[in-house]
């Protein structure tokens, strides 16, 4: 009988999720990874198809893991989508799609896994958030909003399940080199008044990701959290992982705003003739 602890990692076909799954497998876990499309097993990771916005898909995926392995010791909610679009340019439907994946997808899968963890009186949930939760970054406001909602949900859930023997941690990566931009959704509606702001925000995002860190670092961190005796509620990782939350809390708002405006190269205020 396979005695390895069992981990389920969503969004494990590429990027950070792939590195998390690989790290866990390398550290002795039996790992099930998920993708929205059928993928072959690889690097010791058993791949399953999952669409986190579908209750039926979530139920089927969790049942398949339980049928094969009998339990889920660690759930890593990594699946997500980035959306590029200024706030006014993003429709309600587009914003809803972001929350359906990045927030409610996490809630749906967590709800499916928690009963087994409660029954055993043990388990770990690791939610992959983003430093965007700390900053309303121009050009990706609804992505930031979904990640901010995820942070507060993770915090509340941690308090609620801790007495039942379950730990919940939030990992907030900075910029890492992944295919996230290539897979990002974008607003269909463009407003000419925002052209310069949109281009500045888009250019800053792409430069940041092109010069980002190695996603294997996040994989190693999540594996360490899965194996830790007492995991912390929050971990920052990568460039700005510790500094940005501190700056946001400690600096006067106008100073922080000035730093962000300069970092994004946002144009000066224009006036109508």
* Residue 24's pLDDT band (cuts 50, 70, 90): very high
106 exposure class (CB count in 10 Å sphere: 0-12, 13-18, 19+):
buried
SS3 185: strand
Taking the C-alpha atoms of residue 33 and residue 204, their distance in angstroms, rounded to an integer, is: 31
Active site residues: 143
Taking the C-alpha atoms of residue 102 and residue 8, their distance in angstroms, rounded to an integer, is: 17
Taking alpha carbons only, the member of 152, 149, 168 closest to residue 225 is 168
The predicted structure's pLDDT at residue 212: 75
Taking the C-alpha atoms of residue 24 and residue 28, their distance in angstroms, rounded to an integer, is: 7
Angle, CA 224 vertex, CA 223 and CA 225 arms, to 5° = 90
Q: Which residue has the higher pLDDT, 175 or 136?
A: 136
Taking the C-alpha atoms of residue 245 and residue 138, their distance in angstroms, rounded to an integer, is: 17
For range 104-123, the mean pLDDT: 98
Strand order in the sheet with 74-77: 45-49, 30-35, 6-9, 74-77, 123-128, 166-173, 234-237
Asked if the model's pLDDT at residue 269 lies above 50, the reply is: yes
- pLDDT tens, position by position, 45-83: 999 999 999 999 999 999 999 999 999 999 999 999 988
Average pLDDT, the chain: 92
Q: Which residue has the higher pLDDT, 247 or 117?
A: 117
- pLDDT tens, position by position, 140-160: 999 999 999 999 999 999 999
Asked if the model's pLDDT at residue 104 lies above 50, the reply is: yes
Report CA-CA distances (Å) from 2 to 54, 69, 123, 228.
30, 8, 18, 21
Q: How far apart are the first and last CA of the chain?
A: 76
How far is CA 55 from its chain centroid?
Answer: 19
The predicted structure's pLDDT at residue 273: 46
Asked if the model's pLDDT at residue 28 lies above 80, the reply is: yes
Question: In the chain, what are the domain boundaries?
Answer: 6-263
The predicted structure's pLDDT at residue 5: 98
- pLDDT tens, position by position, 200-249: 988 888 887 777 788 999 999 999 999 999 999 999 998 878 888 988 89
For range 184-212, the mean pLDDT: 85
User: Under CATH, which architecture does the 6-263 domain have?
Assistant: 3-Layer(aba) Sandwich (3.40)
Taking the C-alpha atoms of residue 138 and residue 202, their distance in angstroms, rounded to an integer, is: 9
């Amino acid at each position: 009988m396979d005695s390895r602890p069992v981990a389920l990692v969503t969004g494990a076909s590429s990027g950070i999720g792939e590195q998390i799954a690989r790290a866990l497998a390398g550290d002795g876990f039996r790992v099930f990874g998920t993708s929205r499309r059928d993928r072959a097993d690889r690097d010791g990771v058993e791949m399953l198809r999952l669409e986190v916005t579908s209750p039926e898909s979530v139920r089927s995926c969790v049942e398949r893991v339980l049928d094969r392995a009998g339990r889920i010791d660690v759930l890593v909610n990594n699946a997500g989508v980035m959306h590029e679009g200024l706030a006014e340019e993003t429709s309600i439907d587009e914003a809803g799609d972001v929350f359906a994946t990045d927030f409610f997808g996490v809630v749906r899968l967590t709800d499916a896994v928690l009963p087994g963890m409660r029954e055993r009186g043990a388990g770990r949930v690791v939610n992959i958030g983003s430093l965007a939760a700390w900053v309303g970054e121009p050009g990706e406001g609804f992505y930031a909003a979904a990640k901010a909602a995820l942070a507060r949900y993770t915090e509340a859930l941690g308090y609620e399940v801790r007495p039942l023997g379950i730990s919940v941690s939030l990992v907030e990566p900075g910029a890492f080199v992944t295919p996230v931009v290539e897979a990002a959704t974008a607003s269909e509606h463009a407003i000419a008044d925002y052209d310069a702001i949109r281009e500045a925000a888009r250019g800053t995002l792409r430069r940041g990701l092109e010069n980002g860190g190695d996603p294997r670092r996040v994989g190693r961190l999540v594996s360490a959290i899965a194996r830790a005796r007492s995991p912390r509620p929050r971990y920052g990782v990568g460039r700005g992982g510790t500094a940005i939350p501190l700056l946001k809390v400690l600096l006067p708002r106008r100073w922080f705003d000035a730093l962000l405006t300069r970092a994004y190269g946002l144009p000066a205020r224009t006036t109508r003739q």
